[in-house]
Amino acid sequence: MATVTVRRRELDFWEKTYVKEVGRGLAITFRQLTKNLLTREDVATREYPEVRRKYPERFRGRHRLMRREDGTVRCVACMLCSTACPANCIHIVAGEHDDDRVEKYPVSFEIDLLVCIYCGFCEEACPCDAIRMDSGKHPLPSFTRDMQRIRKHQLLEEGGLSVAEQGGRSK
């Protein structure tokens, strides 16, 4: 392949001092400064955390576990989410429920948010509408790694009511 060499135009002495360009830049800065002092409209920066950005509706945020009408967790510990999880961050221990129509429930349900890649496969795999990522919140910073392993009770705190037909339970 032939090489084409394009020679740049040499800068003259006046241009090499950059006085003109610096002046142009400062002009923009001062124009914006004056504008921001006079009006609050059209400000690019936000005063986080008081002012927050609105996330799109389908934003995948921190997980939550939904509840049934009677307040119990909808999850039946089928482990399809942890099976679907490409990062292997969901750890469930199943136990036997007293109500034999429910049979199985998660004794512990942990998600390691440091490992999670927020792909949303878990909520797609869930046959019970139990796990959702629509909390609209992103993971919080923490002092220890262990604090990023969110437990069942934390997941349930965010969780709301879901009346979707429970998967696996016959009518």
Residues of this chain that interact with other proteins (CB under 8 A) are: 76-80, 83, 94-96, 100-101, 103-104, 127-128, 167-171
| Nearest CB to other proteins, comparing residues 76 and 116 | 76
Across 11-48, b (16+ Cβ under 10 Å) vs e yields: eeeeeeeeeeeeeeeeeeeeeeeeeeeeeeeeeeeeee
| Nearest CB to other proteins, comparing residues 96 and 157 | 96
The CB-of-101 to other proteins minimum distance in angstroms stands at 7
The CB-of-102 to other proteins minimum distance in angstroms stands at 9
The span from the first CA to the last CA of the chain, in angstroms, equals 71
| Nearest CB to other proteins, comparing residues 157 and 165 | 165
- The phi, psi pair for 57, rounded to 5°, reads -60, -35
| Nearest CB to other proteins, comparing residues 11 and 93 | 93
The CB-of-80 to other proteins minimum distance in angstroms stands at 6
Contact 130, 78 (CB under 8 A): no
Contact 67, 112 (CB under 8 A): no
The CB-of-42 to other proteins minimum distance in angstroms stands at 51
| Nearest CB to other proteins, comparing residues 34 and 88 | 88
- Between strands 90-96 and 149-150, the pairing is unpaired
The CB-of-123 to other proteins minimum distance in angstroms stands at 15
